[in-house]
Amino acid sequence: MLISVTVNGDVFEREVEEHWTLLRFLRDGLGLTGTKEGCGAGECGACTVELDGRTVNSCLALAVEADGASIRTIEGEADQGRLSTIQAAFARHHAVQCGFCTGGMVMSVRDLLQRNPRPTVEEIKEGIEGNFCRCTGYEQIVEAVLDASGQLDAAKGVLRHV
């Protein structure tokens, strides 16, 4: 089946098998390998992408369902080779270890900050609860989100307000 999608601002038309997931299409059809398959069941968040302005687990969505949609993946996060505010905060706070979960985590954080530009620690935890990180630990991720939202004095590692 022929589908047409806009991915990270570029339009693509490709033939896909009807059973292909959006994840498989992104990785195998377009070569965008930043989106990972962790569990294949929508439980880990490694495959999180933005589809028409909302985050989805791309391992659960079919590629044919995305026909005509606008998709943003982790590859679309940086701007002309410059890290986004979120990516830079993740780097500063060592919120990345193996990197497997990072793409999905950044996409979820992006969604959170669009909906709530100054989330509390509890709201951050709720915002990333669908994303599992097995090696970094969530403290650095929460600090990175606080930094990206302008609520952390990065030099001192303390909240700017309560």
27 and 50 share one domain: yes
Q: What is the pTM of this model?
A: 0.91
CATH assignment at residue 100: 1.10.150.120
Last residue of a domain, one of 58, 76, 94: 76
Task: Report how far apart, in Å, the C-alpha atoms of 123 and of each of 20, 24, 25, 93, 119 are.
Answer: 34, 31, 32, 19, 5
In the 8-state DSSP scheme, what is residue 82? B
- Which residue range(s) make up the domain with 31? 2-76
90 and 64 share one domain: no
Parts of the chain with a pLDDT under 70: 154-162
> How many domains, in total, are found in the chain?
2
96 and 152 share one domain: yes
56 and 95 share one domain: no
103 and 70 share one domain: no
Domain contains 162: no
Three-state DSSP at 55 gives strand
